[in-house]
Amino acid sequence: MMNPNKYKRQYYMPPTGYQEWVTKDYVDKAPIWCSVDLRDGNQALIIPMSLEQKIDFFKLLVKIGFKEIEVGFPAASETEYEFLRALIERNLIPADVTVQVLTQAREHIIRKTFEALDGCKQAIVHVYNSTSFAQRQQVFKKSKEEILNIAVAGAKLLKKLAEETEGNFRFEYSPESFTGTEPEYALEVCNAVLDVWKPTPDKKAIINLPSTVQLSMPHVYASQIEYMNKNLNDRENVILSLHPHNDRGSGVCDAEMGILAGADRIEGTLFGNGERTGNVDIVTLALNLYSQGVSPGLDFSEMSDVCEKYENYTGMKVDERSPYSGALVFAAFSGSHQDAIAKGMHWNEHVDSEHWTVPYLPIDPTDVGRNYDADVIRINSQSGKGGVEYILETKYGLNLPPKMRETMGYAAKGLSDHLHKELMPDEIFSLFKETFENVKNPYSINEVHFRQLPDGGIETEVTSVFEENQITTTAVGNGRLNAVSNALKKAYDLKFDLVTYQEHALEQSSSSKAIAYVGIRKPDGSLAWGAGVDPDIIRASIDALIVAINNR
């Protein structure tokens, strides 16, 4: 039996008056991105990446556009140490990319970290110690003053060793478990660290405020960030960074609201891989910005390739419903959704091609390398005429009459329901041909001749076959198709009305084929449909009429 009484809130609200972020409705520029896939992400894997996988992943992150990449905790293990050394010694770090290394605020770990950085031209050294009430009380059993002294001692050693080591080093400090720390105390510790580093415009310090464990709703975290943003020493020389985890499933909300509250930088991972429920998903954050007309500074135009490589390196799977990146996130199976998307695509193409406003699609799938035919309109038993129409039109050049679209839609739904599977575009096209084009029995036409009458009418002589019996019939009509229709009615005593005729070219060339669609109304009022394809539009229309009669 679940017992909610065993839990209590473990977060701390800042003083009142730090909710200015609420008045802002969007993020107007991309933050500084720092990928922690190779440290936080790797540490969360059941089987950590090999050295060469890490190197390949590093190259992928560089290709995507990350300029800051945390590469590990080099003092924590030999494999972490060797990876950093490989990057440095193989000269794999581009001049415009800064690697970041993590270290606890402990002397021997900090010294080992700087040993690993030997020869690195530029790096961010990220030092941390835990500050939360729970950690102070239960883990370290130390006072606030003692915890603050650990942070200050670590900051001083970083500064000393950076001065003694060749290279361009910047500093970052995290009060780990910030979300469980009293805001006034977190501010005191961070300001004490800044007082040691004395950041300048040319060498800014990074203060990173992690939601190491999400303990509250996102608005609380945002207010905590705003409080720190407005009270940090040397704020103009400080880059305020966030490192949201996802325990409550609101990592993206924490990040976006935190940016509204004054954060300049985000640490996260591709697709949100990380400890427990994961880190914040940078793919989602970046493309959320993109969908609002803000350049994220990261390139996800080859999303399928990024997903494939990520899965190969990590052994993790990108969920089919993962925002922007999942295989099904642009897929519409619902008939009403398909209809709206198809109409929206036509509207955007012909009315407003400058801005993307297609219903149900927050971004153009082709911007991330997705294909309309394969990824957007998907047909199953839940689909409607709009989706089937879209596939037949965009992939095969067919523009069915409105009522015929309904019949074709029902045919596709019925087949999908019978097979218990999604229908691929070629299966839909085959179904169209089998249902409306290749129906040759019981009636067929072998030969047709026309003669223009003095009054403008058309006389036809039709040689047709029914159940292997051939008959030649003469009839008159106000046009060629009407005359053939009258001949068939006369020959077989058929009862129907020719109510719809539509035609168009299938290819834009002098030798192109044409397709004709014919609809006839049966005595019970229902419609039957046929299609014909031929270089001669008259022959195509006659073929369509015969199929419609066969489909009565």
Does any domain span residue 325? no
**Per-residue confidence (pLDDT) for residue 375, from 0 to 100:** 64
Helix (H, G, I), strand (E, B) or coil at 539: helix
pLDDT value of position 374: 63
In the listed set 257, 282, 314, which residue is the last one of a domain according to the structure?
314
Measured CA to CA, the distance from residue 344 to residue 358 in angstroms comes to 5
Phi, psi of 240 (to 5 degrees): -90, 120
3-class state of residue 34 by DSSP: strand
Residues 125 and 101: their CA atoms lie apart, in Å, by 5
* 3 within some domain: no
Question: Looking at the structure, do residues 38 and 83 belong to the same domain, yes or no?
Answer: yes
pLDDT in tens, 48-95: 999 999 999 999 999 999 999 999 999 988 999 999 999 999 999 999
Rounded CA-CA distance 526/500 in Å is: 13
275 with 211, same domain: the answer is: yes
pLDDT digits (tens, 9 = 90+) for 136-182: 999 999 999 999 999 999 999 999 999 999 999 999 999 999 999 99
Q: CA 388, CA 477: separation in Å to the nearest integer?
A: 35
Supply 128's token pair.
């941390």
Q: Are 55 and 18 within one domain?
A: yes
Tell me: do 345 and 292 sit in the same domain.
no
- Domain-terminating residue out of 383, 408, 435: 435
DSSP helix, strand, coil percent of the chain (3-state; round to 5): 45, 20, 35
CA dist 391 → 10, 348, 382 (Å): 53, 17, 15
Q: In terms of DSSP bridges, do strands 443-452 and 168-176 run parallel, antiparallel, or are they unpaired? A: unpaired
Whether residues 413 and 451 fall in one domain: no
Note the maximum CA span of the chain.
111
Domain range enclosing 181: 9-314
Q: Which residues pair with 266 in a beta bridge?
A: 33, 242
111 and 211 co-located in one domain: yes
The runs of H, that is alpha helices, within 18-101 are 42-43, 51-64, 78-89
**Does any domain span residue 134?**
yes
* Phi, psi angle pair for 470, to nearest 5°: -95, 140
Domain count along the chain: 3
Domain end residue (candidates: 280, 314, 348): 314
Indicate the burial class of 8 (C-beta count within 10 angstroms; 0-12, 13-18, 19 or more): exposed
CA distance 180 to 221: 10
Does some domain include residue 454? yes
What CATH number is associated with residue 480?
3.30.160.270
User: Using an 8 Å Cβ cutoff, are 175 and 190 in contact?
Assistant: yes
Q: Is the peptide bond before 442 cis (omega within 30 degrees of 0)?
A: yes
Which stretches within 322-384 are classed as H helix?
335-350
Taking alpha carbons only, the member of 264, 228, 218, 246 closest to residue 28 is 264
Side by side, the strands of the sheet bearing 527-534 are 497-505, 514-521, 527-534
Token pair 């009022």 is found at 525
Q: Which residues of the chain have pLDDT under 70?
A: 352, 373-377, 381, 384-385, 508-511
Return d(Cα 392, Cα 398) in angstroms, integer: 5
Judge contact between 72 and 83, C-beta under 8 A. Answer: yes
Spatial CB neighbours of 285, under 8 Å, sequence gap ≥ 6: 252, 255, 256, 266, 268, 296
Tokens 């299938």 map to which residue? 506
Q: What is the pTM of this model?
A: 0.83
Strands (DSSP E) found in 177-288: 205-211, 238-244, 265-268
Question: How far from the centroid of its chain's Cα atoms is residue 70's Cα?
Answer: 24
The DSSP 8-state label assigned to residue 180 in this structure reads: G
pLDDT tens for each residue of 213-262: 999 999 999 999 999 999 999 999 999 999 999 999 999 999 999 999 99
Q: What is the pLDDT of residue 511?
A: 61
The reply to whether 393 and 346 lie within a common domain is yes
Q: Decide if 1 is inside a domain.
A: no
Distance CA 494, CA 337 (A): 40
Q: Does one domain contain both 304 and 375?
A: no
**Domain assignment of residue 323, yes or no:** no
**In Å, what is the CA distance from 234 to each residue of 175, 454, 476?**
18, 98, 95
- The pLDDT score that the predictor gives to residue 136 is 95
Question: Are 122 and 265 contained in the same domain?
Answer: yes
Helices 144-164/107-116 angle, 10° precision: 30
Q: CA 398, CA 383: separation in Å to the nearest integer?
A: 18
- Domain identity same for 168 and 245: yes
Residue 74 sits in a domain whose CATH number is 3.20.20.70
Q: How far apart are CA 26 and CA 293, in angstroms?
A: 11
CA-based torsion, 180, 178, 298, 300: positive or negative: negative
**In this structure, is residue 209 part of a structural domain?**
yes
Report CA-CA distances (Å) from 502 to 484, 514, 519, 537, 541: 16, 11, 9, 11, 9
**Do 203 and 56 sit in the same domain of this protein?**
yes
Is residue 530 located within the same domain as residue 382? Answer: no
- Gap between the Cα atoms of 373 and 441, Å rounded: 33
Residue 64, domain member (yes or no) = yes
Q: How far is C-alpha 42 from the chain's CA centre?
A: 23
Q: Which helix (DSSP H) or strand (DSSP E) does residue 240 occupy? A: strand 238-244
Distances, alpha carbon 353 to alpha carbons 295, 344, 347, 358, 359, in Å: 19, 11, 8, 11, 15
The one-letter amino acid at 171: F
Contacts (Cβ under 8 Å, ≥6 apart) of 145? none
Q: Which of 224, 217, 249 is nearest to 132 (CA)?
A: 224
Give me the pLDDT at residue 455, please: 87
